[in-house]
Structure 1
């Protein structure tokens, strides 16, 4: 029996998801993408999940789509069907970016193509100093999917064109300088640093974190100042009615660490 292509582990509110095809640098297959989407859909509404961490098995995060499988593909079927299937697959990137819970990509080695899109979709991208990052799509005659255009443009502005059209290979230091990653750490410390960040987020006020993400996404997606003020007012008052806010206020007065219960 073959190993599962997506590994799942839930520990103390942190859902660890691992792309599990290390022999192919975790290149994405239809099965893996389907499992990832379904798992993220469940995680988004599961109260036991406070944080999602996405990583890759072995020495790489994800090299993108399985180009070898693409080269061997026979009749792919009607274009309309292929578009529908791809669009459904790409929901995994939207879920990572928009679910009301913090998401972290933990990456070492190859981060390319759709793998780069998934990494950039997360709220945090923590990488090893052995990172090798590239957009890759143009190298195989493809225009990009899984939100690559959106995420690169929002991170880099006009410089996104350089990464998309030329696909330079970036090391960890250059990726950090450009603002593509949040933190670069020694390869041996990648799991520990990511676990510490995940634990910090999991201990936070979950409902409030969800509202913060919604505000940030609205700003990122072009809401006007008036629209953002309306949303901020509603969400701020909503958060003030939570038990977590009352706990935080009491802890502040009592000079202790708040114990959030995500309600």
Structure 2
């Protein structure tokens, strides 16, 4: 196991994000446990570095995102926004445009699966970043909280987009207006997440699932993500055309040939995750 830490911190301060390679899995751990892994500028910078690795390294075929300590992520560290009396209010559009929105777009566009292991409270932007991942597991003690209304703000980090699609408009409105915590089991029952697990089983199952995905036909999984995300904005005819085009691309991949050969030979497939020759993959080798 190779451990990396971000350079985006100074002095003797712990790295705000820990990055570990476990085979084809990049384990990314938010690492400000004393602050419930709330976001400050250093954490945003370190997470950008981790996403750079995930995007550029073809040997990384799945990302596992989790948090250190007793929480997953409490959202924005409000101490970063304290102003003195008489000062102008902080410009929240700046941090959203510079940090949160790019992160959400990268998670959605990453042509590799992203598993999120929610090990404790996920509040505000922390909840919505978790819900932006492809498969979300949560410890039974975890809770998801749209905390924005408690301080007069609007859900960001994609919350107003993802919540209605996951739980329906009625529940999304209640969660956003009341900031009611949703326990992990209830989140599973509502279809908000994939699965709630006993606390002691969370990381073992998350690592097992991430390893399974990392051994899968990665290029095809990226196309699956693309098709499902596009479906919300497409009518049926447009979506059928997209499925046709993506299937044609998938059918030219080495993993499809390997999958068919393995099926015919009645053996386990050995996928590489590589794209077809000449495919535009956004920089992957």
Q: Specify if TM > 0.5.
A: yes
Normalised by the shorter chain, which TM-score bucket? over 0.9
SS at match of 2:69: coil
| Matches of 1:202 and 1:76, distance apart in 2 | 48
1:57 corresponds to which of 59, 63, 68: 68
Return 5+ residue gaps in structure 2 as ranges.
Answer: 1-11, 275-285
Map Cα deviations across residues 47-80 of structure 1 (whole Å, 9 max, x no partner). Answer: 121011110000110011112333x23446884x
How many residues align? The count is 259
Kindly tell me: are residues 171 and 85 of structure 1, through their superposed partners in 2, closer, same or farther at Cα, counting changes over 3 Å?
closer
What's the counterpart of residue 164 of structure 1? 176
- TM superposition score normalised by structure 1: 0.94
| Matches of 1:104 and 1:136, distance apart in 2 | 23
| Matches of 1:58 and 1:157, distance apart in 2 | 32
Kindly tell me: are residues 160 and 27 of structure 1, through their superposed partners in 2, closer, same or farther at Cα, counting changes over 3 Å?
same
Kindly tell me: are residues 29 and 249 of structure 1, through their superposed partners in 2, closer, same or farther at Cα, counting changes over 3 Å?
same
Which is richer in helix? 1
1:218 corresponds to which of 220, 230, 238: 230
Is 1:3 the equivalent of 2:14? Answer: yes
Map Cα deviations across residues 142-201 of structure 1 (whole Å, 9 max, x no partner). Answer: 112211111112111212101101111121221111111111111111110001100110
Map Cα deviations across residues 129-152 of structure 1 (whole Å, 9 max, x no partner). Answer: 111221101012111221111111
Is 1:234 the equivalent of 2:229? Answer: no
SS at match of 1:54: strand
- TM superposition score normalised by structure 2: 0.87
What's the counterpart of residue 204 of structure 1? 216
| Matches of 1:224 and 1:167, distance apart in 2 | 33
Do the aligned residues in 1 keep the contact of 2:83 with 2:89 (CA within 8 Å)?
Answer: no
1:87 CA displacement? 1.0
Return 5+ residue gaps in structure 1 as ranges.
Answer: none
2:39 corresponds to which of 28, 32, 44: 28
The within-5 A match list for 1:38-187 is 38-70=49-81, 72-74=82-84, 75=87, 79=91, 82-90=92-100, 91-158=102-169, 159-187=171-199
Do the aligned residues in 2 keep the contact of 1:41 with 1:95 (CA within 8 Å)?
Answer: no
Task: Supply the RMSD in Å over aligned alpha carbons.
Answer: 1.6
SS at match of 1:104: strand
SS at match of 1:181: coil
| Matches of 1:251 and 1:150, distance apart in 2 | 40
